[in-house]
Each structure stands twice: as structure tokens, then as C-alpha cells.
Structure 1
Amino acid sequence: MPTEPVAGLQLSPRARQIVGAARELLEKEGEDALTMRRIADRIGVKAPSLYKHFPDKTAVEVELMAILLEEMAAALEAAEAAAPGSLEALFEAYRGYAVAHPGLYRLGTQKPLPRESLPAGLEERAAAPLFRELGLDEHTGRAAWAFAHGMVVLELAGRFPDGADLDEAWRVGAAAFTR
């Protein structure tokens, strides 16, 4: 899967290849597979050559987190444009993206966010659709995001009982936050 530079970050073609390989490993095998040696093997080079492009694995992870935020922002913006003012549409886009990219989602949401290393404004852009169209205040917006995140984490972990109507649970959640 091609990986483009995020929000003004200028990556060399080789750095983009490294990030793409890291993303493929993450999505296919999970975070434990995300090692510099495995990334290097995937692109057919020796691990030390990766350090010409990234100082360490954490730097690769930061780029992956930025990609998550960029792509999530784009998914939410598209949902906002298609259904202005619909929290249900935003939740559907959020859930759809997270379920389609579980490895990237987990990496980007289960560790502290390295805000100082991310492109300026990217985190805010990813959150903006919750606030902009719906007029949610800061606290309600965070609560709505926490609901969506919790639902996704439980779904990805297979924690809902067989036969649970998750679509209805999402609708009920959206209704609870809609003014």
C-alpha cells in the first residue's frame, strides 16, 4: 500500500518505502512484527541502512501515527461533507477506518501521542469534525471521541457477545451526544 508524506513532511522515496513496509507489517502481523530488521527484510536491505532515513524505530512509529491522523481526518472530513451535522455519519467513518486499519489504529491510539513530533495542526484537524459541525464543546467532544474509541477497541478485541447489534449501539451512542 503506497504511503505518501504527511502534512508537509518531506520524505525521500526510500523513507516512504520504509514507512510503507512498516505499515504492511503492522497491518498484517501486528505491532510485535514492527522491528527495524523486519522492515529492512521486507524492502530487501540490511537493517543498518534504515538508520540513514530514520534515527530509530520510534521515528518510524511517529510517521505511522501521523499517517493515521491524516487519513482519519480525511475520512471524517468526507463524512462531514456527505452528511453535515451527523454525528452518526462521523462515528460510521471513524469505526470504518479503524476496523479497516486495526494495526495502525492500535499503534496510534494505545501509546502516548508524540505531539511535538507531529505536523503542526494535524491532531486538531483530525478532531475538528466533531466540534465544527456539531457545535460540541470541548468536554462533550472528548466524551464522544472516548465513546467511539472505546467501541472500536472493544470491537477489535472481539469483546462484544456473538449477535450483539453493534450498529444499533453506535446509533444509540450518536443519539446520546447529539443535541
Structure 2
Amino acid sequence: MDELDFYVTAISAQRVLGLGMGSSLEEVTHSFGKDFVEDVHGPLLRRDYGLLEFTFHRYDRWKCCLIGVQVHRILWGDNEVIPDAVSAKYGSFSPHLAAATLSRALEARGVDLDGAARQTFSDSIKMSLVELGVEIIVLKGQDDERLQGDVWSIHLSEPKRPQLT
């Protein structure tokens, strides 16, 4: 398995190494260890493991409600930002992830980014697959052409269910 498998599996399964929405703090700690930065804002707690951020909401217990894959951090942190559990399974990661490459790999798994809702900003495009609970931020590359079309981040959350009328 390689880094592209990591990204495609995270998006298509909405899970990272078996962890997803509803996972507990203990489960994340068991998989990724105690080397993290943590902050709490009201009912939300965020654990930052470098490439990965897990956000939890306090219900009867802390439950994961968002997973952020901060692809851009590899540019500045090299592979040091990749948690050991991820690199053990997927190897080293390139500092660039082209959205076109990701799109082709997702299409091979039955996930079509062409149908994603798009929201355009001055420096990026947000593609949302609400039925999967996935948002992908792609850079326009205005400040640095080398980054044009690169994935900045991927966010996994609870899929939106269609409203019954």
C-alpha cells in the first residue's frame, strides 16, 4: 500500500486506520499514541497528530466528529508529520498530492469528484461530497504555481443523510 491508498481509503471509507466518526479518545490514543497537541474549545476537543487532526464532541463521552488530513503539512514538516502508525502501513509520503491524481484513484473506487459541490474562494476550491461527509480543499496556486491543483486538506465528518419529505 502507498500514500495514494491512504488518501483514497480515508475518503471512501471515512476512516483512518479503522478510526472514524464515533471513535473514542481511548481508541485514537491506542492507535496513534500520546505524542499530540490538544486543545479544548467548549464542547469540542482537538488532537493534532501532524498530518492528522481528530476533533471530538463531548456527549456522554468524547466521540470523534471530524478527522482532518492536513496534507499541506508534509510540505514543511517532511515525513516527520506522518504518524508512525500511518507510515508503518503506507510508507513515505510525497509533499504534493495532485487533485487530478486523487480524483482518478477515487473514480476507480467508485467515488466521483466530478459531481462534488464546488465552492470557489480566492485561493482555493472546496469540493464537498455531502453524502460521504467529505470536503477536499484544492489550491488554485496563486501565490506559488508549484502548488496549483494540489490538495491542501481533506476533512471527514458524519455523512449528511437525505431529508425525508
Q: TM-score range by the shorter chain?
A: under 0.3
Larger strand percent = 2
TM-score, normalised on structure 2? Answer: 0.27
Q: Which has the larger radius of gyration?
A: 1
Larger helix percent = 1
TM-score, normalised on structure 1? Answer: 0.26
